Amino acid sequence: MINKLGQIFNKKFRGIFILIVILILLPFIVRNNYFQYILILSMLYAVVASNWDLTFGYFGMFNFGHVAIFVSGGYVAAILSKFYGISPWVSIILASLFSAILCSIIVLPMLRVKGIYVVLITYGFSQLLYQFILSQRNLTGGSLGIDLIPDIYFGNYSFAQNGKIAYYFLAFFLLIASTLFLTKLVKSKFGLSVIALKDYEEYAVSRGVNFGRQLILCFGASALFTGAAGAVMAFYLGALSPSMLGFGYLIIILSSILVGGINTIYGSIVGALILVVVSELLVNIGAWRFIIIACLIIFIMRFFPKGIYPSVSKLYKRYM
């Protein structure tokens, strides 16, 4: 029995275990605040990308709304903490719940439309949120955003101490929790019903699967950790800006799903880690940054059409 479990661990989880160990040790090995900032950013984007993949890859609903959910989670947590004195920990939880409810409400018009109309509805929501942030200056800071967001404390320990290394492990914990949640979800009866609706919608509905209910639950579930990631981002940066709703953020996160591999969860995480790190390392070269990233995406999609993770995973299982 022990040998069998060891073989399963070696084949299936060795690579993941190695990656987790590396991520735990990295901030102690590379003591550079900017490098740590890149890693925190990439892990938070990985949370957003992998949860976006739940609706995009598993349900087959292409939408532009997840960046808006991410940003709304950040604004809710920042407003609650700064203006109402609510604990950052409670604010993160409330922002997560608010994001799930908001995302479930956004889905309602999508129950009667498909295809490009879903994209238009979700993109319209992003623009509506952008205009709301600009118009409610007393609450959101308008075009200037919100600054001086309170720091997170654990007892008497401030997360701003020691180069904000505590935020690194908070982002890391959030990524692990989100991944476990998504993995468990897609393997459950609910996850199987969602996949059935994507592949054989008419047959699944004829067998008693409620399309509307599953759509609302799927989008709501995908927003839980997305909103929490936005909240953690707000406390880590100490400031928020409506520019986060720009097209650049959306492209980076969406490209993470495509580059890493659709319908994989782990692929979105790998894609986010690669693209965010490369994007931030090239930030000083101006417009060439986006040209290089675009060429990298084209190269990956040309030689790894299903994404990096499925291709590398296949080679890993064959030779390891």
Q: What is the pLDDT of residue 220?
A: 94
Q: Where are the domains of the chain?
A: 42-245, 246-320
Asked whether 235 and 81 are in contact (CB, 8 A), the reply is: yes
What whole-number distance in Å separates Cα of residue 236 and Cα of residue 253?
19
Q: Residue 190's pLDDT is what? A: 92
Structure tokens at 122: 């979700």
| Nearest to 19, CA basis, from 309, 310, 311 | 309
- Residues 6+ positions from 51 with CB-CB distance below 8 Å: 66, 178, 182, 222, 223, 224, 225, 226
pLDDT in 10s for each residue of the chain, 320 residues = 445 545 545 555 666 777 788 888 888 887 888 889 999 999 999 999 999 999 988 988 888 888 999 999 999 999 999 999 999 999 999 999 999 999 999 888 888 877 788 888 888 889 899 999 999 988 899 989 999 999 999 988 999 888 889 999 999 999 999 999 999 999 999 999 999 988 888 888 888 899 999 999 999 999 999 999 999 999 999 999 998 888 778 888 888 888 888 888 888 888 988 888 888 888 888 778 878 888 888 888 888 888 888 877 777 666 65
CA distance linking residue 48 with residue 174, whole number of Å: 11
What integer pLDDT is reported at residue 121 of this predicted model?
A: 87
Residue 264: name the closest of 118, 64, 46 by CA: 46
CA dihedral 262, 267, 270, 276 (to 10 degrees): 20
Q: Please answer whether residues 140 and 133 qualify as being in contact, where contact means their C-beta atoms are separated by less than 8 angstroms.
A: yes
pLDDT at 10: 54
Q: Which residues pair with 239 in a beta bridge?
A: 147
What ranges make up the beta strands (E) of 133-200? Answer: 146-147, 153-154, 157-158
Distance of CA 314 to the CA centre of its chain: 25
